[in-house]
Amino acid sequence: MKQTRNTQAKTEILNVINHSDIALSQSDIQKKLGDLCNRVTIYRVLERLENEGLIHKIINIDGVVNFAKCSGKCNAGKHFHNHIHFNCKECHSVTCIENVVPDIRLPTDFIAQEYNFIVSGICPKCSKI
């Protein structure tokens, strides 16, 4: 099994994602890290963290790629993220809604292996403004 090394950039990026209540884009992460590392390093670390089953990728309604922590069931071989992602139209935040899983009924001979649902609307923070 290939050993992956933990760099300061990897540790800090994972900390930023793990301590966020919403999914973060690469630019969000870069702003939080300041001058710790450049854009290319962040992309490489994000790809490594996803491959290791520590984070998952969400594409929001604007086409921006966001990253969120994995729920704990994921590993390097498989991700388990069959849940809804809520995209706020006001603040553009993306939130994992893990306790809501849609009931999918496909036609005969179709086998679902994974899915990604984006629900758009107004988040609780923006609805109070």
Is the pTM of the predicted complex or chain greater than 0.85? no
CATH number of the domain to which 79 belongs: 1.10.10.10
Per-residue pLDDT in tens (0 to 9) along the chain, 129 residues: 344 566 899 999 999 999 999 999 999 999 999 888 899 999 999 999 988 889 988 888 888 899 998 876 666 666 666 678 899 999 989 988 877 777 788 999 998 777 778 889 999 999 886
Q: How many domains does the chain have?
A: 1
Q: By the 8 A CB rule, do 65 and 27 touch?
A: no
Instruction: Assess if residue 1 is contained within a domain.
Output: no
Domain membership flag for residue 83: yes
The total of other beta-carbon atoms located within 10 Å of residue 67's CB is: 24
- What is the C-alpha to C-alpha distance for residues 59 and 48, in angstroms, rounded to an integer? 18
Residue with structure tokens 């963290």?
49
> Which residue range(s) make up the domain with 12?
8-127
Q: What is the pLDDT of residue 53?
A: 85
Residue 4: the pLDDT is 52
Instruction: Please tell me the distance from the alpha carbon of residue 88 to that of residue 108, in angstroms, as a whole number.
Output: 35
